[in-house]
Structure 1
Amino acid sequence: MISQLYIKNFKSLKEIDLEIRHLNLLTGLNGSGKSSLIQTLLLLRQSPEIGKGELKLDNPSNTLFDAGVAEDVYYQFGTDKEIVFRCVSEQHCLEWFFDCDVLSHPNRDVLRASADYSPEQLQQCNVFSSAFQYLSAERAGAQNAYPASVEVVKNQKSLGLSGEYTTHFLHVYGDYEVNEILHHPHARSNKLIHQTEAWLSELATGVRLKTEEISNEEVRLDFQFDTDQGITHKFKPKNVGLGLIYVLPVIVSLLSAEKDKLILIENPESHIHPRGQVELGKLFAAAAQSGVQLFIETHSDHILNGIRIATREKCIASENVISFYFKRFEEDNRSDITSILIDDKGKLHRKTAEGTVAKIPKGFFDEWTKSMLKLF
């Protein structure tokens, strides 16, 4: 599990050194560097020769992230012609100093560093382990049928980059027993399919899921709903609302995750109403407390509040949670990141460089307060 992340001269991240915890919330204005932090992890993972010091920026055959070429990723006002990534885990420190002379070689799509890490050394960091899931902001929408893949679902135990294999995953692992800490109190059983239904029912009442294998290449997903008059007929995904479809991969990834798995999720709140976002925050907290490591990029104060409530209710230890608030300086276009902590009471605070407690910065999810002051 990652405990420290150091990045230098990558896009707007001129130089950052962050303490990483189980649950890491990335917040802040658009274009402030949140995605850039996630992209460093994606580039490291997708580079097949990273152990030998080769960082593949443009990799069409394995595109977790297509970064382009050197001049696209090097911090514009950098002076030392190198990009540095350092990833520290409990057992090991992995570090790369990539040569990046954009004046001489602006179009390089491979950056090189002096490094010699064995596969075993890389595997000690969950960025490179098989226990990895990335869900992009552009998730699979409503479809009459979803793709199936033995390689992705059975061999990699993945849902795909956009969650496109979630239906196949549920079809294969629906009877999987979910970790007790993640159990929803109103689920029909501890099986993955029933736990998924229960958490989805926080968004829409009485959700039931049905999967059916159409062929070796496709699986169908249908929704039903509990009512006072019995269970409804089946509904196709396009007839139940986009929120349920968008959040399904998020919920399944959390409920099926084993200890030490690394999950990166962009904008999990998309198309979800406020109460559902709060419950999603609680589920993030429970997953992190079970030993999963999460990086969540979000604009949702409701998700933050769900995590705060979970902390106050002792569903997660406060030392396992941290939020990073990103903003960008106009004078040199670099990201500035403030680490914000949650105490045992669910209250927010930040620590100064001297280690003292201080107030959270202006701009950190304070728009509601500003709006209320204008209205009342």
Structure 2
Amino acid sequence: MKFSRIAAAVTTAALAPAVLIASPAFAAGPDAPATGTQPAPTAPDQAVPDPTAPDQAEEDRKTILAIIAHPMASEFMKEAGRKAIADGPKAMRKFIEVDQHNIRMDDYRIAILRLLPDAGPGLKEGVNKVLTHGNTIEKLRHFYDVTQHELRDDDNKVEISRLIGTGGTGVKEAGKKALKGTPADRTEFLKTGRHLAQAQDDLVELARIDEGWDGPILTAAISKLMNGSPTPAELRHFLEVTQYELRDQDNRVAIAKIIDGAGPELLKAGRAALAGTPADRTEFLKTGQHEARAKDQAAKDKEKPAPGKGGDTKDNNTGTGTKTTGTGNTTVTAQGNNGAPLATTGAGDHTTLIAGGAGTALIAGAGLLLAARMRRAGAEG
């Protein structure tokens, strides 16, 4: 008799590896033995007896009861055994000689499938291979009892080597020690040792961050965490998640202080950073604030007149002249647009002479006009 469950298992084993890996529901079926436990041993075949003999039937019944009472017997094995007993001597003999072996192969396949959820790449490949080509109970048993442990240890070595390459000092030291140890040492390192070593490295990293960070919010949180009794998982979460949230809070506070009373460009850039992402705020504090300040300063510089460009001398019609006259003083002080004296140059000296000459000519002309008027008055009289 070919049971439907056995046929289903054989059909599943012949499918592509990707299908096998994606079949946790089948692997965890109610008929399979518990994870990590070996299926019940197969009762050895006996010489063909006379099934009609009362003594032989009783012996077969006891044999079947022993098989289904085994702690590793699957529910399907128990159900098939009880049915064989109920069906009589011929059914019991067939169960012992044929059915139990087929069911056992099915149980091994299910137990092997249950290895997949936490298997590494090497073990997964081995599982797919044995389910495809493991057509005897001996091959299935050897894989379950021996090969799976060898493949799992190979995967553990690869994972530990990866952790050594990316971890801190504590992880590197503990990982190298595990590689030199036993398979059990490697399993223990991946289960608990790596987390303890990582916690040591995380404490060192927190101290480094605290020393190099000026923000009060993150600094206070680090101090509180290190003064408590954090678990390795809490340290990891703080470094991977919490520290970045607190850094951004500190950055917000710093930006708010920077834009308080700032120029228009700095104010605009700071507000945009506060409304943006954490990366925007980091970039503003790193470069954006300096660029905005430079724009504000350039605008201020543009509003101021250039030094020495506000006025000129009177002879080129670009400025005004202020003449101070008096006894023995013909000095002219040229003023710029802002009222400041211009620097004395050679051109300025010539201007002074020209201005003085013009004044002398005006005085002489007035004297001649006065003399002419006096002559005319004398002639008339």
Taking structure 2 as the reference length, what is the TM-score of the superposition? 0.23
Structure with greater helix percent: 2
Point out the structure with the larger strand share: 1
